[in-house]
Amino acid sequence: MSEADAGEAGAHAGAGSGGWPTVDFELTVNGAPQRVTGAWVGENLLFVLRERLGFTAVKDGCGEGECGACTVLMEGRPTTACLVPAVAATGLAIETPEVHAVPQPDPVAAALAVHAGAGCGFCLPGIGMEMRALLAHNGKPSAAAIRETLSGHRCRCLPPERFIAATRDAAKTLAHKQAQARAQADASAQDAQDAQAERELQAERELQAEPQPPHESPIYPRVPAQAGERTQPGGRARAGENDSEHEQAGARS
Ligand code: FES
Ligand code: FES
């Protein structure tokens, strides 16, 4: 990476006490920013993650891209950290095995413990990252797909069938969890709809229960020429007029 590129990526170049070029930069690991200062510009991501930042679940095997032990996810893609200059990972989302094991092992880590727990353990974190990337895109991988996906990982102590079984178990658990999450989301949406309908019903009831303004009879102008008996069209009296007529008649009698 040229100095200009490093600057664009948020890195600052300098010189170490031995005269070698150094850089300061920030990585995003497991969702959190991690500041790296005074790193040799050629340090690989594996070294920086393990030795500078303490993510020791990333294993250092061959150091040359052959064993897969150092596999991390960069932007969701499996990447051998030993082959990536750390400063080139600035601005990219990096995932290490730690984020999937603490505080609870995720379905992949749990399945590996069951099916590959007898292995050396050194290779498993990298294999787990590869499995996660596969399951993120393929919820029901075939045995051939699993074999091909894990072909870049060197495990000399367990047969591939163990990893196939682990991947399938993890896929089942993930599918079950996803179905549960969907059912829960549907139930929450239904509850919200019911609550909204209940609120609307309640508002309607309250509206109906409110006292209505007294109904006033329309007032028709009484035109003397059209005045007649109360039952005749046009002979209707103004509101209240009849009452006073009745009262007057009552007083006279
Ligand atoms: S240590 Fe990176 S592939 Fe072996
Ligand atoms: S799990 Fe490490 S060699 Fe098999």
Q: Please check whether the domain covering 99-204 is classified as CATH 1.10.3720.10.
A: no
Read off the pLDDT of residues 88-131 as tens digits, 9 standing for 90 and up.
999 999 999 999 887 889 999 999 999 998 888 899 999 999 99
Residue 52 near residue 39 (C-beta atoms within 8 A): yes
Residue 13 confidence class, pLDDT cut points 50, 70, 90: confident
Distance 129 CA to ligand 1 centre (A): 13
CA-based angle 36:41:45, to the nearest 5? 60
Q: Whose CA is nearest to atom 1 of ligand 2?
A: 119
Domains of the chain by residue range:
1-96, 99-204
Q: Is the predicted pLDDT of residue 63 greater than 90, yes or no?
A: yes
Tell me which amino acid residue 157 is. Answer: C
Tell me which amino acid residue 114 is. Answer: V
From the CA of 119, give the closest atom in ligand 2.
Answer: 1
Residue 66 token pair: 């052959």
From the CA of 122, give the closest atom in ligand 2.
Answer: 2
Distance 84 CA to ligand 2 centre (A): 23
pTM above 0.75, yes or no: no
CB under 6 Å to ligand 1: residues? Answer: 60-63, 65-70, 80, 82
Three-state SS letters, 142-166:
CHHHHHHHHHHCCCCCCCHHHHHHH
Residue 209 is predicted with a pLDDT of 86
- The best mutation among 67, 120, 162 to test binding of ligand 2, ranked by most ligand atoms within 8 Å of the C-beta, falls on 120
Q: Whose CA is nearest to atom 3 of ligand 2?
A: 155
Three-state SS letters, the chain:
CCHHHHHHCCCEEEECCCCCEEEEEEEEECCEEEEEEEEECCCEHHHHHHHHCCCCCCCCCCCCCCCCCCEEEECCEEEEHHHCEHHHHCCCEEECCHHHHCCCCCHHHHHHHHHHCCCCCCCHHHHHHHHHHHHHHCCCCCHHHHHHHHHHCCCCCCCHHHHHHHHHHHHHHHHHHHHHHHHHHHHHHHHHHHHHHHHHHHHHHHHHHCCCCCCCCCCCCCCHHHCCCCCCCCCCCCCCHHHHHHHHHHHHC
Closest ligand to residue 47's CA: 1
C-alpha distance across the termini of the chain, in Å: 117
Distance 247 CA to ligand 1 centre (A): 110
Residue 58 CB coordination number (10 Å): 26
Report the C-alpha gap between 110 and 56 in whole angstroms: 19
**CATH of span 1-96:** 3.10.20.30
Residue 19 is predicted with a pLDDT of 76
Name the nearest CA neighbour of 23 among 95, 92, 85, 79.
85
Closest ligand to residue 153's CA: 1
More confident call, 69 vs 212:
69
Distance 80 CA to ligand 1 centre (A): 6
